[in-house]
Amino acid sequence: MSVEALPSPVRTGFPPGFVWGTATAAYQIEGAAAEDGRTPSIWDTFSRTPGKVRNGDTGDIAADHYHRYRDDVALMARLGLGAYRFSLAWPRIVPGGRGPVNEAGLDFYDRLVDELLEADIAPVATLYHWDLPQELEDAGGWTNRETAYRFAEYAQAAARRLGDRIPTWTTLNEPWCSAFLGYGNGVHAPGRTDPAQALAAHHHLLLAHGLGTAALRAELPAAAQVSLTLNLAAVRPVSDDPADLDAARRIDGLANRIFLDPVFHGSYPADVLADTAEVTDWSFVHDGDLAEISRPIDSLGINYYTPTVVGADDPAAPADRQDGHAGELSPWPADRGVRFLPAEGSRTAMGWPVDADGLYELLTRLRDDLPGVPLLVTENGAAYEDYCDPSGAVHDPERIAYLRGHLAAVRRAIADGAPVRGYFLWSLLDNFEWAYGYSKRFGIVHVDFASQRRTPKDSAHWYAEVVRTGVLPD
């Protein structure tokens, strides 16, 4: 048989056992907001606050996955996917954020996990994808240290019930967004706008990660994997000018090292502490916290969409804030003197420049900075203006081009020694895209939200072929 006929690692560039999946999150797809004992999260409250979410959209029904999960798993099986990254809704499992466990809420995930295993799809569960129980927010949310302890209790309850069947657990999804968009510029729930609170929230989220990791380890079988997903930034200085390089250092600190140093080295970077000294004295960091936060984990999840280009601020120019995050205020707690510029290249429907090299840069940087830490791309994908044509097809050539480019970047990073073990495309389904509501479609499966009809887009068929062969077709 010729080499051409085999999807061998040599020919495909993706190693044996490479995990191919898709990703979603509870509030974005489940709906059933008030069923089986679920109580409101900060996103239920935020989406009901006038002016916060486009068109006043909410996750009340979303893609109705709570009722249609069987069909959705069958769809994944038809696409040949090997893994599914989803999140558990804290307000289903521990309604109100503390107190008794709601078995009816856990029953849903029990059914989902069994359905996945039946279809030979590995479940990858994230504990926190932004849906903090509202009662905990009322008690201070992530600015309150106690929230981290409540998170560990919730993690334990989830692992106790589901740990025998879920091999990979992620504590948090993108704590940068929870802290800096939620408490910094307020474009995400709970919508607070205070840089000092954003940094306190950041620390308490990391503490929750550490305490949650310990709680998971106490419940899970020894072979289970515990991970954390970060939206690290591929930060590029706009020039070699020392002032631009310093802007890049500052944003690299606030986007990347503010997570990587405490989680992997047990300390906060000195330059970040200095840069943020005008905002906070960091007295929320207690003795022992960093030991908790730096408990060993088994892999690191990376979400990547677009690079971050920065330079020194030009006081004469109007403030340039093209960091990909909407809002009038800056989410960055101490970005004085920094200008954000768009990368070159075409834009997605989010306005995010398409630049696959950023993913390569990130993965090879982590290869160097975190030797021996396996990496997973836990999100990558793009929104475009998709529509179902009269023949019932959804042609999305731009998304296919985006995916091909980014998967080629992953393949190149692997060839250059980055230990990337899997790729989860964001997203399986069109869904509630946070402050953009249903106006942005990231799915490889189109959802008609009026009828809940699912239509695999051309990109779904393309991705199925990639998963089947390990080759990136034209």
CB of 25: closest distance to ligand FCB in angstroms? 5
CB of 287: closest distance to ligand FCB in angstroms? 32
Residue 421 amino acid letter: R
CB of 382: closest distance to ligand FCB in angstroms? 9
Positions touching ligand FCB (CB under 6 A) are 25, 28, 173-174, 177, 231, 303, 379, 426, 433-434, 442
CB of 322: closest distance to ligand FCB in angstroms? 17
Distance (Å, whole) CA 102 – CA 88 = 13
User: In a 10 Å sphere around its CB, with 0-12 CB exposed, 13-18 middle and 19+ buried, how is residue 194 labelled?
Assistant: middle
CB of 441: closest distance to ligand FCB in angstroms? 11
User: Of 177 and 206, which CB lies nearer to ligand FCB in the complex structure?
Assistant: 177
User: Of 172 and 400, which CB lies nearer to ligand FCB in the complex structure?
Assistant: 172
User: In a 10 Å sphere around its CB, with 0-12 CB exposed, 13-18 middle and 19+ buried, how is residue 440 labelled?
Assistant: buried
> Can 35 be counted among the known catalytic residues?
no
> Can 118 be counted among the known catalytic residues?
no
Q: Spot the catalytic one: 30, 115, 137, 174.
A: 174
As beta bridge partners, residue 310 has 237, 340
Q: Spot the catalytic one: 115, 137, 379, 433.
A: 379
User: Of 360 and 442, which CB lies nearer to ligand FCB in the complex structure?
Assistant: 442
User: Of 84 and 434, which CB lies nearer to ligand FCB in the complex structure?
Assistant: 434
User: Of 147 and 231, which CB lies nearer to ligand FCB in the complex structure?
Assistant: 231
Active site residues: 174, 379
